[in-house]
Structure 1
């Protein structure tokens, strides 16, 4: 049972594969619309946009739909965990690793559409939008989401990892402020602090809880399909290591910025 949102019967009656195709296509359309919307709205808010070079404009709009997806998936994950009863273990005796719903599949499908779109742009424009680490990150994320949808397994853990995208708006805002020439502003400093704290909570502490929860429910995890079982034991650790490496870079950048502010004040 899910609280608050109703899914049309005709959509729920579709096969899992068809629902994934429909929702993934919806995610791709979402990316395209937010990409174009960013290109239309930005010049109205930032006059310097027209002076940016072609690569900067491309990345600016790319980060626009990246931010939109991050907000979408963070809010959706909070709804799934805090408002819906999908993963409430006191509701019924169904194993948490097998719990799913039409809504959760749709959310994951749209998110896979984003990762496919962004990865395609990264590869097509390589290395303008990022290096191999971004291709690896998006590739692993896409595989994990599709594996979960098509097998109906481990959605709980996929949503937990997807919530880490909540840090993306801070990362993108940092880049926007830098390109806009506002690197010395107080806003840039506060955003950096928020990014550091958000990353610590959503990508370091949450991953710790992820591994704790998985091994606390190891008897359920062992019942998963072999591919899902090994994916759970391989993909999250790789993402966790990447998050730690990026976290150290963020921490060093924040310390450098705060030190510079202290010396100039």
Structure 2
């Protein structure tokens, strides 16, 4: 059935109106931080519901979980999706986009930002707000004080980079470390499903070890080296931003080393049982 010219024009008109709404309102510079945060929180709610629905239909072990375990299962679905999203976007901005490239001459690297980078950080802030709220609501079932510290520091640092436009490069460098979250969540899923003695559990432990080493140890060393090379530009930041660039990654790096020690001990114990 042929589509009339009037129908095509009407569809095009609605399309143009939608594009203008997104461009001039939802993605306009002054309100991008707020719309992106709301988008992040709403996305968390949608993913939570989809995880609940999908798991109930396709995972038999889900029905046998208690209420708190089901909430954590769904919560880990949210963190997995966020990790995949923010890690992919962070890798793009740090290694593929020319936004923060040294050969660019549009100002200091510590003050560069774009509509997309700001929106991306806002979505991440929305996630940290939603996840921290769930952690506090069910404390300490979803995580102890170390998770509260991690999420609080991360949320503050990401929010500052988003609102001020300062230090976004280093924020994305740190957020690349979220690439380890899906593996950590998978380990919990396997454990909860009673597959602790499976080959998948062993492989998962090995993957976590190497992913953690690269993304949360070596990458942080590279970030500190980058800060050293661009220290004069870092010094031009507001004192609060300057402190965040130095203090937050340092605290997170210390926590990463602590967790890495636990991962190493756990892997050794698992391998010893296999012998």
Q: TM-score range by the shorter chain?
A: over 0.9
Q: Distance in 2 between matches of 1:59 and 1:27?
A: 19
Q: Which runs of 5+ in 1 are unaligned?
A: 1-5
Alignment of 1:35-54 (within 5 A): 35-54=48-67
How much does 1:114 deviate? 0.2
1:142 aligns with 2:155: yes
1:14 aligns with 2:10: no
For the pair shown, which has the larger CA radius of gyration, 1 or 2?
A: 2
How much does 1:149 deviate? 1.5
CA contact (8 A) 2:29 2:115 kept: no
CA contact (8 A) 1:12 1:102 kept: no
State which drifts further: 84-93 or 183-192: 84-93
State which drifts further: 133-142 or 39-48: 39-48
Match of 1:203?
216
How much does 1:238 deviate? 0.5
Q: Distance in 2 between matches of 1:74 and 1:237?
A: 20
CA contact (8 A) 2:135 2:142 kept: yes
1:185 aligns with 2:191: no
How much does 1:12 deviate? 7.9
- SS of 2:142 mapped into structure 1: coil
Q: Distance in 1 between matches of 2:126 and 2:163?
A: 15
When residues 54 and 215 of structure 1 are mapped into structure 2, their CA distance, relative to the original with a 3 A threshold, is same
Say which of 71, 75, 80 aligns to 2:93.
Answer: 80
How much does 1:82 deviate? 3.0
Moved over 6 A (4+): none
1:242 aligns with 2:242: no
Could you give the per-residue CA deviations for residues 9-63 of structure 1, whole angstroms, max 9, x where no partner exists? 41587344x2111000000011111111110111222112111111111100000
CA contact (8 A) 2:125 2:155 kept: yes
- SS of 2:99 mapped into structure 1: coil
Q: Distance in 2 between matches of 1:123 and 1:225?
A: 31
Match of 1:61?
74
Match of 1:23?
36
1:255 aligns with 2:273: no
Q: Distance in 2 between matches of 1:212 and 1:89?
A: 15
TM-score (norm 2): 0.90
1:221 aligns with 2:234: yes
- SS of 1:153 mapped into structure 2: coil
State which drifts further: 168-177 or 145-154: 145-154
How many residues of Structure 1 are paired with residues of Structure 2 in the alignment? 256
